[in-house]
Amino acid sequence: MQLNFAATSQIGSGLAGSGALVVGVGEGGAMTQSAARADKASGGALSRAMGQGRFTGKSGTTLEILAPAGLTWSRVVLAGLGAAADFTAGRVEQLAATVTGKLLDSGERTATLQIEPPGGATAIRGARLAAHLAFGARLASYRFDSYRRKSAQEHKPSLEKVTVATGDRVAAERAWQPLKAVADGVFLARDLVNEPPNVLSPTEFARRAKALSRHGLKVEVLDEAAMKKLGMNALLGVGQGSARESHVVVLQWNGAKSGAKAKGRAPVALVGKGVCFDSGGLSLKTGAGMMGMKGDMGGAAAVTGTMLALAARKARVNAVGVIGLVENMPGSNAQRPDDVVESMSGQTIEVLNTDAEGRLVLADVLWYTQTRFAPRCVIDLATLTGSIMASLGREYAGLFANDETLAARLIAAGEEAGEPVWRFPMGAGYDKLIKSKIADMKNIGGPLAGAIVAAQFLKRFIADDTVWAHLDIAGVAWQDSDSRPLTPGWATGWGIRVLNRLIAAHYEK
């Protein structure tokens, strides 16, 4: 779908348009200037339509008027803006996504968003308002149709172009560029998670990551021989039942300002679990439990998408993304329950359940990232546990951290970006649940507090002086319905927006 910005139309002053026109109505039914002009030109058609229903301008609601008399637009969509105090960037994005979602398959080919803030003081207006409208529309336009053949045309959206009207087109386009980079990162992550597992093997994932070097990222791919030399036996153990080779991919972005001080600045490190398909290994999942496990690399997808976003918007930060890519299969050489492996850190792990594999992958990747890069902080993302969904459903990601400042920053960034996180406790009582009788630790802790125990396991591979946070995104990396305007389809691309917001707010100073 094409997105562009144009000078604000003068509706009712002799200039007309085609397609759908979207105008705003504040809480209580207060029309914005554009809506009032359209209402006047239509002889009060908009007012009459509002008077016949329950539409009052509440945020998230819409009202469509088809072929209103006196206007050349094929339809007018009234979009609820809500109260001025709640008119934030996040609400603006939701508004644009909601309208775009309704129009995608409506038969309309073009739409013009002419949205002004509701009356009163608001957090967003002008060029920023226009840019966030475009961002919401872009995120809502996502489709994954790569494997449609005969039905491709049937599922193709009719909406081809969205124009955002603004008083300052140049400023709006300038404000849009970094958001466009974030949207590109989200789309990349969604594409990766949506790909079928027979296509997106660890090697194919690594190849696609390598291709991002054209955006200015430095990309390295470690093969199994290199990982074996490094002692990554925990990660390699997960993948040894698969015919497909495991990989670790390192993506670096060195965008900090030039100068001696900036040159030596330690990077922000992002680490992702990349299990390209998870059968459970010899601790085999049920058939129903295996469905959707192509998405068990959602953490790696989020890291890859974030690194693309940082490079595309030329973020003034040094950042490194490290992803562990494996396939967990029950082959003849598969890891067995009761096996003991020695991780890269030297700590030994008793593997009691081969379906608790993501933490084994992260154990080695976390240690590698710290020892090689000595980062300012480490944030890992993983579709790690079903337990987190039992607690939070699909509304929040679970947050675990050893640092109060980083935890608070992630919570704030999540709220601002529309990807909220909820912090869980950690402590010695949970840590003792992974005490092993024959090794340094075991990889499961019993039926209780599964997400917390998994985080305690990861913490054993975090150095005492490393600032660290773990995001369990098992509940938010994909969804089974299209009910959320900003995340249509299955894969959500969760993580890019919150990480980008965190880095922009705290690590690019």
Q: How many Å apart are CA 239 and CA 324, to the nearest integer?
A: 10
Residues with catalytic annotation?
Answer: 285, 359
Q: How many Å apart are CA 454 and CA 150, to the nearest integer?
A: 44
Residues 6+ apart with CB under 8 A from 261: none
Distance between first and last Cα of the chain: 34
Helix or strand (DSSP H, E) at 269: strand 268-278
Residues 6+ apart with CB under 8 A from 104: 140, 141, 157, 158, 159
Q: How many Å apart are CA 277 and CA 329, to the nearest integer?
A: 8
Q: How many Å apart are CA 192 and CA 481, to the nearest integer?
A: 19
DSSP letter, residue 382: E
| Total count of residues recorded for the chain | 509
Residue-wise burial string across 75-95, b where 16 or more C-beta atoms lie within 10 A, e elsewhere:
bbbbbbbbbbeebbbbbbbbb
Query: Would you state the structure tokens that stand for residue 219, as one six-digit string?
Result: 């990309």
Report which residue type is found at 306: T
Residues 6+ apart with CB under 8 A from 312: 180, 181, 184, 185, 215
CB 366 within 8 A of CB 461: yes
Q: Is 285 left (phi over 0), alpha (psi -120 to 50) or beta?
A: beta
Q: How many Å apart are CA 491 and CA 468, to the nearest integer?
A: 26
DSSP letter, residue 246: P
Q: How many Å apart are CA 179 and CA 192, to the nearest integer?
A: 20
CA-nearest of 303, 308, 461, 452 to 382 is 303
Query: Would you state the structure tokens that stand for residue 36, as one six-digit string?
Result: 């009032």
DSSP letter, residue 490: S
Residues 6+ apart with CB under 8 A from 329: 241, 242, 243, 277, 279, 281
- CB count, 10 Å around CB of 144? 16
Report which residue type is found at 383: T
The CA radius of gyration of the chain, in Å to the nearest whole number, is 25
SS3 152: helix
DSSP letter, residue 212: G
